Amino acid sequence: MKAKVFDYYMMRLYKAAPVWLQRLFLWYVYRPYRQDLPKDGTAPIFHELYIELRTRCNSTVCRFCPAVKGADERPDITMPFEVYAKVIDQLAEINYGGRIAFYLSNEPLIVKDFPRYVAYAREKLPQAWLMITTNGQALTPKTGRPLLEAGLNMINLNLYNDDLEAPLPEPIKRFEEEVLQAYAQQGRVQYQGSRHSAQGQPVDFVYNVNRRLATEVLTNRGGSAPNNLGDHERQRSPLGLCDNPFYSMTITSDGRVGRCCSDHYIHEALGNIKDQPLMEIWNGAAFGALRRALLRNDRPAGVCRVCDSAGIRWSRQNSWQERFLKNLTQ
């Protein structure tokens, strides 16, 4: 109760304050999150890599996503296998064991020869966690089975609908019955889980089903979300630190590296994997300048300036700073 009153008055005071005072206050709010990060713009190797193999989605329903079919202004490009293989080979050289997510703003199951991409990563990166998030519209026994055989570790199935009680589509039911159950009988599937079991043991394959409203209003994706374009107020009074570029790397299908998964159109790429080794981009000047600006609570022009994401992972549960940022952004 006391915390709620405290939070209420703090937010009122914050909203009434002039922009310069708000920014000073945000400096203080983000302090605990800033202090663990290197101050010189460097970062240890990322542990999340998002690779967008094709810039397309087959969904027409998600009101919050700039990739929704018919609205996406990007050309339809698929990453050539040779370009992809170059990235995986570079990761193999450093024995990468983090996450590889085969999506960014797209639907991975409509990538031609997708199991081939997964199998190559599995062969070269035995320790990596290979995953997709899919809307499931193309998930059938025929598309799902080769992915499990290729060594995929996780399917996050996001069922976007206006009705959260809608029955599971038949092709997905058949995938579950004809493919998943056989794996489950061998004890290889964890339902609704993460990379590690509740006991902390590594697991082989995780299958998560999430029912989500297609009408949700999420973050503004740097001003590109169709139902939340970002307000001018946010540009005058941007949020502060964002730790995303300290642990996550995103590559789209023409090889460009963006700031984060909200950087849908990537107007200012941080590099291109066709021209430069991956780690050179990660440790390069553009990434360094972005991180240093964010450490100064200075969200750079472009997507960061309008972005309404708090920019931190919710890890310091129930600290006043975390409660404040949640109230401010959610």
Stretch of 31-39, 60-68, 94-102, 267-275 contacting ligand SF4, by CB under 6 A: 60-68
Size of the site for ligand SF4 (CB under 6 A): 25
Residues 252-281 that bind ligand SF4 (CB under 6 A): 259-260, 262-263
Question: Does position 224 bind ligand SF4 by CB under 6 A?
Answer: no
CB 152 within 8 A of CB 118: yes
Smallest separation, CB 214 to ligand SF4 (Å): 8
Backbone angles phi and psi of 181, in degrees to 5? -60, -35
Residues with Cβ within 8 Å of 245's Cβ and at least 6 positions away in sequence, in order, are: 43, 259, 260, 287, 290, 291, 294
Residues 174-213 that bind ligand SF4 (CB under 6 A): none
Question: Does position 111 bind ligand SF4 by CB under 6 A?
Answer: no
Side by side, the strands of the sheet bearing 129-134 are: 189-191, 205-213, 154-161, 129-134, 99-101, 48-51, 248-251, 256-258, 271-272
Which C-beta is closer to ligand SF4: that of 65 or that of 125?
Answer: 65
Smallest separation, CB 176 to ligand SF4 (Å): 19
> Hey, how many other C-beta atoms are within 10 angstroms of the C-beta on 181?
11
CB 153 within 8 A of CB 129: yes
CB 265 within 8 A of CB 258: no
Which C-beta is closer to ligand SF4: that of 118 or that of 225?
Answer: 225
Question: Does position 245 bind ligand SF4 by CB under 6 A?
Answer: yes
* Interface mask toward ligand SF4 for 285-324; x: CB under 6 A: --------------x---xx--x-x-x-------------
Stretch of 61-69, 109-117, 138-146, 187-195 contacting ligand SF4, by CB under 6 A: 61-69
Contact with ligand SF4 (CB under 6 A): which of 106, 224, 250, 297?
A: 106
* Interface mask toward ligand SF4 for 141-180; x: CB under 6 A: -------------------x--------------------
Distance separating alpha carbons of residues 62 and 96, to the nearest angstrom = 33
Count of CA atoms in the C-beta half-sphere (13 A) of 117: 28
Contact with ligand SF4 (CB under 6 A): which of 98, 115, 151, 222?
A: 222
DSSP state of 241: -
Structure tokens at 309: 């994401």
Distance separating alpha carbons of residues 326 and 320, to the nearest angstrom = 10
Distance separating alpha carbons of residues 296 and 214, to the nearest angstrom = 36
Contact with ligand SF4 (CB under 6 A): which of 57, 131, 147, 312?
A: 57
Chain residues binding ligand SF4 by CB under 6 A are: 57, 59, 62, 65, 67-68, 105-107, 135, 160, 222, 242, 244-245, 259-260, 262-263, 299, 303-304, 307, 309, 311
